[in-house]
Structure 1
Amino acid sequence: MAETPVDPPGLDLARLRSRLERELPGLLQGPLRADLIEGGRSNLTYVLGDGASRWVLRRPPLGHVLATAHDMGREYRVMTALRDTGVPVPRTLLLDPDDETLGAPWYLMEYVSGTAHRDVAPLAALGERRVHALGQRLVDTLATLHRIDPAAVGLADFGRPEGYLERQLRRWSKQLAASRSRDLPELDRLHARLAERLPASPAPALVHGDYRLDNVLVDDADTITAVLDWEMSTLGDPLTDIGLLVMYTELAGVGGGIIPSAMTAPGFPKADEIVSRYADATGRRAEDLDWYVAFASFKLAAVAEGIHYRFRQGRTLGAGFERAGEMAPILARHGLSTLKES
């Protein structure tokens, strides 16, 4: 007798199968199984399979969910819009914006093969030349995203560029407050310094919101096959993406591996090369880059505190969450240092 597939946390396979058979008839060819992909720190990602094909399902985390932070519809819409552009994205299949099937909104997309490089050893094994070329390709893909005309792909209303940085700073301050379980004076000081030095934004563009090496898939030919994790995408200041990429590069491997270590691999471009290559590809000069890197530190600290909050409630799935609480002080100090505050 065939073994009955086990429901992973956050999925009801029977209800999901019923919904897929109704919405996508003929998709499933056998028993539906699902595995939670470990390593994600926000939305939950599962690989589904029926013995013949595989797909990926995304849904918000269990428990404490911050308003606007886990918008399934936003991810689905931007990937659908970017399907025929130079930005590689998985093909989207179905969006369920309601809570009826899984108790939360979710969407289904195609499974794309590739490696998401988090750890330094596998990336370093490629050799310095290949690592350097992949780092350049990562910057080039971001530049391609920022050169897209949002109106041309149906995303002219995907965000409100006017006052974007001020709203972002306010939003992440509110997210931090909603997850606060301890005093974080350095992070409060970083927020105050960012508010004092708010720069003027350049022309708006489509913003990914969490662009880094382990949010793309790479094949054996070192080609980027998909850009993933669009949950914070919007129409806004593109320098927030480059500031975030620089911050991840500068802090790679910090916090016991909470920030991926892959970008410490010999050959991976340093921050100055990343910024220079991006500027050459887009014509955008990051004159206030220090502010954007410091803001990236503040934003990631707010994310880490949300993870820490859910972990303390026992509402996280997978390993590694127990160290999320270490990150906020580290990120606050990095942001303050970037802004030249001792």
Structure 2
Amino acid sequence: MALTLAVARTSGVAGMRRRTARRSALLIAALAVLALLCVASAVLGVREVTPDDVFSALAGDTSTISEAAVAKRLPRTVLALLVGAALAISGAAMQAVTRNPLAEPGILGISSGASLAVVVGIVFFGLARPFSFMAIAILGAAASAVFVYVVGSLGRGGATPLKLALAGAASSAAFVSLTSAIMLPHVDLMRTFQFWQVGGVGGASWGGIAAVLPVLGIGALICLASARGMNSLALGDDLAAGLGEHVLRSRIIAACGAVVLCGAATAVAGPIGFVGLVIPHVCRMLAGPDHRWLLPFSAVTGAGLLLGADVLGRVVARPAEIEVGIVTAVIGAPFFIWIVRRQKVREL
């Protein structure tokens, strides 16, 4: 018996080491792909540039048009990385908190709620500072999250994935309509925010990045610190409580981190959908359900997806550009339909 236990323990340790090595190799590969996408983001666009232009722009020389174009793409690249990582982590955390595979800031109407709050703040309260944008966006995201969850919980069965998705879609449509109604009499705002409403990173600046970076960092740290609690929540509330987890506290903390990330990302880049839906599912196939690995994987892969979508939007429509929010919608909509169909089959 002792020999059998020792063999089982040794086999378990060896299996854990193999999984860790595999995850580490995949994470390194994802980082390598992300580095290549960063180079592509600096080089590709409406204007063709050379590697010398990239190096000159990095050194601060913007004397030529090509070097100036590269210098403009650098903050855009960094913002796409930050927003993509934030939305992916937020989506993974929301799926863990709600135990809903359809949970995502855009689908649940949280991004639209944050957008509505920003527009209300600008039109009625005259907000103009980046931190005020992020503060009111986070409040709007939190309010819309609570509203959608309450509406989705009504009726028999509680907050099922399909009911939450329907409540989120209806709420999102209402928030978008209210946003348009508020902005319609203000032509100047309509022109300023028409691309922001679609979702994009074309207006990135180093000042905006410096303002949003600490907020995104706080949200990411909250989610990462809640990774063990998310693992417990995945087992079910009763079993998590039996393991000593404070279910309500863990759920609230993780949700707060997700809302902060979603609100700040929406304030700086507009409502960008489907990143938080697609990436966590893909990363679960690669890294497994352990959120201590899933969240870092989601951050790297989400950054790569949004940056790749931004590069693609610049290339396919030359000399014009397609906003990154449109590209992610084209990518994510079929994936969303596949998830809904698979979930419906499981419930039959």
Q: Which structure carries more helix by proportion?
A: 2
The alignment's TM-score, normalised by the length of structure 1, stands at 0.24
Q: Which structure carries more strand by proportion?
A: 1
The alignment's TM-score, normalised by the length of structure 2, stands at 0.24
Larger radius of gyration: 2
